[in-house]
Amino acid sequence: MPSISVILNTYNSAQFLLETVDTVLNQTFQDFELIVIDDGSQDHSLTLVSSVDDSRIKVFPYANAGIAASRNRGLQHATAEFVAFLDHDDLWHEKKLENQWQVLKAKPNAAFAYSWLKTIDEAGNLIRTYPPIRHAENAYEKLLIKNFLHTASNPLIRRKELIEIGGFDEAIYGADDWDVFIRLAANSPIAVSPHHEVYYRIVKGSGSANVEKIEQGCLQVVHKAFQVAPLELQPIKPRTLGTIYQYLCFRTLEEMTDRRSGLKSLRYWQKSYKNNSKLWGIVPTSKVFGKAILVMIFSPIVVSYILSQISRSSQA
């Protein structure tokens, strides 16, 4: 029986799939099984992953049911003490599993261990390195405010505890991982592997880029979480909503699908500021309004060019 079950969910993943599989196979920690759950791909994802010659890889094709359902299906097939989920376009540092496994072995009461995050673009170029966050032990309140893990590709989780809370909520779109983190942290302490080990890929037009659906999913998580949160934590709900709408504001401007994105981002800014004005200083507000106005006036291509020229001038 392996020590870790890695669950890789795929859906029309041919562009990134082999690179993502390699990021698992090249781990320094080699005692794992790689469970690939294909969620009804219409491209040649299944052919690609089936061509990889490694006895630890187990491929299970299903009809399309969504990411949360794929994660639950993978959990049903998992046999190890620990499970790690990986989206088809994300990557890991080679020591990710080893470091997190060591942390959980040293802290047997922790439900999961998480690492720090970097974002990359479609070509694998670095976009942003997130600052270290050391929320260990009782992180329930911190997770109620913000999903500082960002993605299901981040933590190594004790399988038993994940099964005990019922796995992923398949009614939630795009934020089912945050819901799981909150429920796990409500029952148990967590632990941190203090390294930047997760590379979260930003792909325009992907499921994670559907901002309006993400908003719906996040609000589902908030409603569900605060229904059962202790009375003393109810006052932090506006902080949570402010953080959500701040993220949606920034993400809308990143996607810049059309001129309406500028107006949408300002609506998200307004909701964020209304719930938690402390998130917004003069500089970030000015940047949001400046970019939003450009997006409303010019096409996304022109705005990208203008911003690139501004960036070059500031670096000169």
The amino acid at residue 292 is: A
* pLDDT at residue number 309: 73
Q: How far apart are CA 33 and CA 80, in angstroms?
A: 8
* pLDDT at residue number 194: 96
User: What digits encode the pLDDT tens for the residues 131-168?
Assistant: 999 987 789 999 999 999 999 999 999 999 999 999 99
Q: Which two tokens stand for residue 237?
A: 């709900």
What is the crossing angle of helices 237-255 and 211-228, to 10°?
170
* pLDDT at residue number 267: 96
Q: How far apart are CA 314 and CA 287, in angstroms?
A: 14
> Pick from 129, 137, 253: which is nearest to 195 by CA?
129
pTM: 0.92
> Pick from 307, 267, 308: which is nearest to 287 by CA?
307
Q: Is 34 helix (H, G, I), strand (E, B) or coil?
A: strand
- Pairing verdict, β 126-129 and 191-201: unpaired
- Pairing verdict, β 112-120 and 91-92: unpaired
Q: How far apart are CA 167 and CA 75, in angstroms?
A: 8
Give burial (CB, 10 Å; 0-12/13-18/19+) of 288: buried
User: What digits encode the pLDDT tens for the residues 53-101?
Assistant: 999 999 999 999 999 999 999 999 999 999 999 999 999 999 999 999 9
All residue ranges of the chain with pLDDT < 70 are 205-209, 311, 313-316
* pLDDT at residue number 209: 58
* pLDDT at residue number 196: 98
* pLDDT at residue number 276: 97
For tokens 């690492």, name the residue: 115
